[in-house]
Structure 1
Amino acid sequence: MIGDSKAEWAGDQTPATAVAQPAGLRRDVTVWGSYMWGFADVGADTFVALGLVFAYAAGAAPLAFLLAGLVYILIGLAYTELAAAYPVAGGGQYFALRGLGDFGGFVSGSALVLDYTIDIALFAYFSSTYMDHFLPQLAGLSLSIGPFSQVKVGLALQTLLLIAFLAWLNVRGMRESSLFNEVIGVLVILTESLIICMGLIFAWSPELLARQWSETFAQFHGKQFVYGASLAIISFVGLESISQAAQETRRPATIVPRTSIALILTVFLFAISISVLTLGVVNWTVFQDESNVGKSVALVARHLPWIGPVAEGFTALLAALVLLISANSGVMSVSRVAFSMSKFHFISPWFEHVHRRFRTPARAILIFSAIGAIQVLLASLTPSAIDTLANMYAFGATLGYTLVMVSLIRLRLVDPYTPRPYRVPLNWKIQRGELTIYWPILGVIGLLGIGTVLIVVLYTHTIAAIAGPTWVIAGFVYYAWYRRKMRMPIFRSIRRDWEQEQQEVLTSAEEFDLLEQYRNALAARDKAQRRQANGR
């Protein structure tokens, strides 16, 4: 456990003291498993976001996906660099802690916890809606509860059962969870590829696409397009999952860059291709019916020649499965964020407990899965659970991504000695004595891009503008109470020995070449400082 009230405190720019943990997360994720953790999230996002984006961006939906995808690529490159350099549980929350200090790490962590609990609720719920294709009687079960009419009790019960199953699966350990992702993920990739290829060859009409495109821009509604583009960003949420699993990935400095770059390219191509296919196969107005929004990919599959009816049913089944593995990734990721937040004194050390047998953060898994279940119940009481959960999902993702981009830039300045197996390209070299600082030009562009999306989300998404900041503020109240109780500073950072922790991380990851590079860089720095001091 960590949590000595007599610890020594320092200002925001003072790094912090790594304390050995009684039990660590086991490194049990392979190359394919790491890739599938990310694809589990992003692949499912397409099944949900496609109909939502078309409902608002209309015939300009492919452009909305393109703009969001370009921002996603820049974010993905940042995550690739940071996750390979700092392969520990926590992902964006840990990066913000290292780059921005304790308070920045808390804000990032609270945004990610919101995002992942919504991930659990949203995708488990949509998994149930796709099952509606096979269980219409259960899904159609509705009741009136007090002032709430037509509450979809059947879908809610299905979703709660799925969340309970996923919590059990993740408590048992990463090997079981990762295998679950891998098997279903292969089927998803093959099926999406089949739909896109057959659709473009046999069903796609360039005339229909051109007509819908021209009609949309003839009566262009800028606010609706911007709203749709801000929703399109949820099609690209998933790279965080790879960084969350970095502490449980074998040889992360080698594996993480490979899986991240592959995921960036795969998801970008899938999102653009399927949006272009959709615009040339169906009329976008069908997505004004909310019942079609949640089954958009199955709707496209129905238009395939010869195999349409069969493809629709198979796609519905596959969608239910891929949405389930996305919820599974949410359970995994939120528990790892909580594990990291507990380790660094943002929440109670109680969440840091690792199960003795399975070596997983079982308490965090169970608590945050329960929060996801509560969100399902609350969403079921609203007129549109889809819109409510998607709004919150977009807010959490964009806020977390914004802080990650800021952290990338700042870590280049304050921690230039950590080896970076992968570095975001296009850098401006700044010479500081004998040290070269690489100022990330693409990182700045990415920060401007995701910052703009965050502003758009707050401006156009009423629910996100209210509930999102409320969540962060409520979390801050707990954070302030806990830190005050433990006699820790609220806005300043705890003194930690990041250099010692980084060496321990690289040793645990068996990245001995990088460890040697890091020690040599620190030795060269110390030698230069001594020479400078003697020169005075």
Structure 2
Amino acid sequence: MEQSGSAQLKRVLKPLHLWAIAVGLVISGEYFGWNYGWREAGTVGFLITTAVVTLMYVTFIFSYTELTTAIPHAGGAFAYAYRAMGPFGGLIAGYATLVEFLFATPGIAFALGSYLHFLYPDLSILGSALFFNVVFILINISGVKESAAFSVFITLLAVAELLLFMGIVAPSFKMENYLANSTPLNLGSMLAALPFAVWFYLAIEGVAQVAEEVEQPKRNIPKGYISAMLTLVLLAIGVMVLTGGVTDWRKLSNLDYPLPEAIAIVLGRGSGWTKIFASIGLFGLIASFHGTILASSRQVFAMSRSGYLPKPLSTINNRFKTPHWAIVAGGVVSAIALFTGTTSQIIILSVMGAVLMYMVSMASLFMLRKKEPQLERPFKSPMYPVFPAIALIISAICLLTIMYFNLIISIIFVAGLLLSLAIFVMMGKHKIKITHDDMLQASSTPKL
């Protein structure tokens, strides 16, 4: 591969690309993972939990868009937190974002393997997951415009398939099925289901990681974010409610492929539609898998370029203009996670990273409003300070709750953060002052 020391990304992405990347990043959350929330809280309890999380995401996205358009940087929350809080804030936001995207990738890979195993029982789930990992590393290296075009194509197919799914199962929906066997409404159960409601929308903020590759970012980023959020809310509620009413929902609450199983119950396992749906169901998972690799690689790239990760990870390929070593590094982490975790555990770890990042981002928004009142803000959070406050409070409740119900995973998450902070201090990185211009060029990695 040819390499270059210049870390300049191409501005080629339009609003349709951003919508596709945002929806594509998230849409696998409609295909699997959320159904584990039924196991915790039942259908009605999980519906209430999802409504609260939807409120968090709506207020968060409107607030986060202010940061993304004011500071269009590939580091996303890392860049915003650094500007608002300094080196330690940047490190915490960067660590949280890396955990979110790097572990969302193997979670989706597991589901891809499970869907293929549903279709072809002889195929290994782990082997298929690793295969997709390698293939999509190569696709992402090939170029961001090519990757974005692929995102548009695959995301449109995934959305069409979910609409088709709802059309097929809607006639079989029975409210008595949805309400039957439901866990009595219990605050503890609903809180335990929080990470699986977050999974419905997790990673939509990943659009920030391609902000430096967007044409006219201050105008186009809000269009991409808001249209994507509306699309995802409608799909999430429709899929969750209709699926819960076609059968005894408990049969679907512990599977990595709830939608093909629901189709099989409605039409029969031998139906051609069942096989077709499971086959094209791969599109939604592929869209998210592709998007999380794209977003995680840009986070690795941005943190490397700013001196927070090894400098070679910010190398740009001369031919494809993509950060190939950052993409490969993310793929290695994903492969390791595939050998060590299960889908539900990986989802919980990814969600912990996400909600911590949301908290830091909303805190950064408040601090920058006070610290830099003259900063150009092409898009301002509506109903400030109410919207960012709602997002911050619900995110904090989510994080504390997830840690309470998942002690071992929480210890791993906190230990990783403490280790990162220790290395950061020992290397003296906290003493380095990074200007905005420094963050935008690998050749100017700051020196003590």
Correspondence for 2:444: none
Q: What are the within-5 Å matches in structure 2 for residues 317-466 of structure 1?
A: 317-379=279-341, 385-427=342-384, 440-466=385-411
Cα separation, 2, equivalents of 1:493 and 1:447: 29
Correspondence for 2:162: 192
- Asked if structure 2 preserves the Cα contact closer than 8 Å seen for 1:27 and 1:248, the reply is yes
Correspondence for 1:216: 183
Cα separation, 1, equivalents of 2:413 and 2:53: 21
Q: Structure 1 residues 470-479 or 351-360, which shifts more? A: 470-479
Identity %: 22
Correspondence for 2:135: 165
Cα separation, 2, equivalents of 1:134 and 1:305: 16
* Pairing 1:478–2:423 present: yes
Correspondence for 2:59: 74
Per the TM alignment, residue 221 of structure 1 is displaced from its structure 2 partner at its CA by: 4.2
397, 402, 412: which one aligns with 1:467: 412
Correspondence for 2:37: 53
Map Cα deviations across residues 437-480 of structure 1 (whole Å, 9 max, x no partner).
xxx22111211111111111111122331111122122223323
Cα separation, 2, equivalents of 1:233 and 1:280: 22
Map Cα deviations across residues 381-433 of structure 1 (whole Å, 9 max, x no partner).
xxxx1222112111111111111111111111112222222211113xxxxxx
Letter in 2 for 1:359: K
- Asked if structure 2 preserves the Cα contact closer than 8 Å seen for 1:401 and 1:450, the reply is yes
Letter in 2 for 1:476: L
Map Cα deviations across residues 27-72 of structure 1 (whole Å, 9 max, x no partner).
1222211111111121111212232111212122222211111111
Map Cα deviations across residues 75-106 of structure 1 (whole Å, 9 max, x no partner).
11122221122112011211111222111111
Runs of 4 or more off by more than 4 Å in structure 1? Answer: 303-308
Letter in 1 for 2:62: L
Change (3 A) 1:84 1:207: same
Correspondence for 1:233: 198
Map Cα deviations across residues 310-340 of structure 1 (whole Å, 9 max, x no partner).
3432332233232122122121111111121
Correspondence for 1:27: 11
296, 310, 313: which one aligns with 2:275: 313
- Asked if structure 2 preserves the Cα contact closer than 8 Å seen for 1:50 and 1:297, the reply is no
Correspondence for 2:101: 116
Map Cα deviations across residues 117-159 of structure 1 (whole Å, 9 max, x no partner).
11221111211110112221122xxxxxxxxxxxxxxx22221
Q: What are the within-5 Å matches in structure 2 for residues 176-187 of structure 1?
A: 176-187=146-157
- Asked if structure 2 preserves the Cα contact closer than 8 Å seen for 1:34 and 1:259, the reply is yes
- Asked if structure 1 preserves the Cα contact closer than 8 Å seen for 2:267 and 2:274, the reply is no
Cα separation, 2, equivalents of 1:480 and 1:319: 46
Change (3 A) 1:174 1:211: same
Correspondence for 1:64: 49
Cα separation, 1, equivalents of 2:265 and 2:353: 35
Secondary structure, aligned partner of 1:168 = helix
Letter in 1 for 2:205: E
Per the TM alignment, residue 171 of structure 1 is displaced from its structure 2 partner at its CA by: 1.2
Correspondence for 2:27: 43
Cα separation, 2, equivalents of 1:331 and 1:23: 19
Letter in 2 for 1:239: I
Map Cα deviations across residues 190-217 of structure 1 (whole Å, 9 max, x no partner).
11112224433x12112333445xx433
Per the TM alignment, residue 307 of structure 1 is displaced from its structure 2 partner at its CA by: 11
- Asked if structure 1 preserves the Cα contact closer than 8 Å seen for 2:161 and 2:281, the reply is no
Change (3 A) 1:355 1:225: same
Q: Mind listing any 5+ residue stretches in structure 2 that lack a counterpart?
A: 442-448
- Asked if structure 2 preserves the Cα contact closer than 8 Å seen for 1:38 and 1:240, the reply is yes
Cα separation, 2, equivalents of 1:400 and 1:303: 39
* Pairing 1:276–2:215 present: no
Cα separation, 1, equivalents of 2:357 and 2:264: 37
- Asked if structure 2 preserves the Cα contact closer than 8 Å seen for 1:55 and 1:287, the reply is no
Letter in 2 for 1:494: K
140, 144, 150: which one aligns with 1:174: 144
Change (3 A) 1:495 1:198: closer
Correspondence for 2:225: 260
Secondary structure, aligned partner of 1:136 = coil
Correspondence for 2:433: 494
Cα separation, 1, equivalents of 2:117 and 2:127: 13
Secondary structure, aligned partner of 1:137 = coil
Secondary structure, aligned partner of 2:27 = helix
- Asked if structure 2 preserves the Cα contact closer than 8 Å seen for 1:44 and 1:319, the reply is no
Cα separation, 2, equivalents of 1:127 and 1:408: 36
Letter in 1 for 2:162: E
Letter in 2 for 1:33: H
- Asked if structure 2 preserves the Cα contact closer than 8 Å seen for 1:392 and 1:464, the reply is yes
204, 207, 225: which one aligns with 2:173: 204
Per the TM alignment, residue 300 of structure 1 is displaced from its structure 2 partner at its CA by: 2.6
Cα separation, 2, equivalents of 1:416 and 1:318: 49
RMSD in angstroms over aligned alpha carbons?
2.2
Cα separation, 1, equivalents of 2:126 and 2:426: 34
Per the TM alignment, residue 73 of structure 1 is displaced from its structure 2 partner at its CA by: 0.9
Q: TM-score, normalized by length of structure 2?
A: 0.91
Change (3 A) 1:169 1:478: farther
Cα separation, 1, equivalents of 2:79 and 2:265: 45
